[in-house]
Amino acid sequence: MAELDFDDLLGKATYHTSLAYWIGTVTPPAVEPATLTGLAGFLAQQYDREDQADCYESLFPEDEEWPRYFTPVASIQLTRRWSPLPTMIQILGSPQHLLRFDESVGAIAVAAAWPPSQIPDPSIIPRFSEPDQERFAGILAVAAARGREARRGLFLVAEPGWSYDHNYTFSAAIQRIMKRASFCVLDRRPK
């Protein structure tokens, strides 16, 4: 899946050195292109929300529609010059829906969704030696376990951008909110 690797997603924004991704479970009726488009649009907004959350409701606002059908298993994650999409497709197979959002002057965002029938047993998810890849495998295993248990699909959105080194940890107060949300990791990247 070379067309979804980090370099491909850079598009014309060749100065980026990191990629942000958001992964979680999604209710099966929500695994539709219009819903994926909406969720992909929340990536940057949610990144900022996570940095500034002061209560559970600010992390998952009731006035937004997405918390009704999408449940993230972790905060938005960062990788250094690596895209998790080819790995996720290798493990889960081709997504039911795959949308590319080409920016005429910047990076390319991609949203993908898999139905519950494609969610593997978490025990088959391979281990990796690279820290970003190993972290992703662990988060994917949690998402797969939760998706199988709840009979929900999986959703992933990814886009190059953001700083890998800036602000990758959260305050103790935000970490408590993330624990309440059952996030499986409480920071943005491996240490």
Residue 26 CB-density burial (10 A; 0-12 exposed, 13-18 middle, 19+ buried):
buried
What's the confidence (pLDDT) of residue 75? 95
Question: Rounded to whole angstroms, how far apart are CA atoms 186 and 171?
Answer: 10
Angle formed at CA 52 by CA 47 and CA 57, multiple of 5 degrees? 90
Could you tell me the sign of the dihedral formed by the alpha carbons of 7, 134, 179, 25, in that order? positive
79-111 residue pLDDT tens: 999 999 999 999 999 999 888 877 655 678 888
Angle formed at CA 132 by CA 128 and CA 134, multiple of 5 degrees? 30
44-65 residue pLDDT tens: 888 888 988 888 888 887 777 7
Mean pLDDT over 132-142 rounds to 97
Could you tell me the pLDDT band of residue 148, with boundaries at 50, 70 and 90? Answer: very high
What's the confidence (pLDDT) of residue 120? 95
DSSP bridge pairs for 155:
24, 113
**pLDDT above 90 coverage of the chain, percent:** 54
Cβ atoms of 112 and 155 within 8 Å: the answer is yes
**Could you tell me if residue 15 is left (phi over 0), alpha (psi between -120 and 50 degrees) or otherwise beta?**
alpha
Kindly tell me if the per-residue pLDDT of 71 is higher than 80. Answer: yes
Question: Rounded to whole angstroms, how far apart are CA atoms 58 and 73?
Answer: 17
Could you tell me the pLDDT band of residue 161, with boundaries at 50, 70 and 90? Answer: confident
Which residue has tokens 């025990």? 123
pTM: 0.92
- In this structure, what is the dihedral angle of CA atoms 150, 41, 162, 20, given to the nearest 10 degrees? 30
Question: Rounded to whole angstroms, how far apart are CA atoms 47 and 22?
Answer: 9
Stretch (H or E) spanning 141: helix 131-150
Where do the structural domains in the chain lie, given as residue ranges?
2-180
What's the confidence (pLDDT) of residue 139? 98
11-39 residue pLDDT tens: 777 778 899 999 999 987 656 666 667 77
For residue 34, what is the DSSP state?
H
Question: Rounded to whole angstroms, how far apart are CA atoms 3 and 5?
Answer: 6
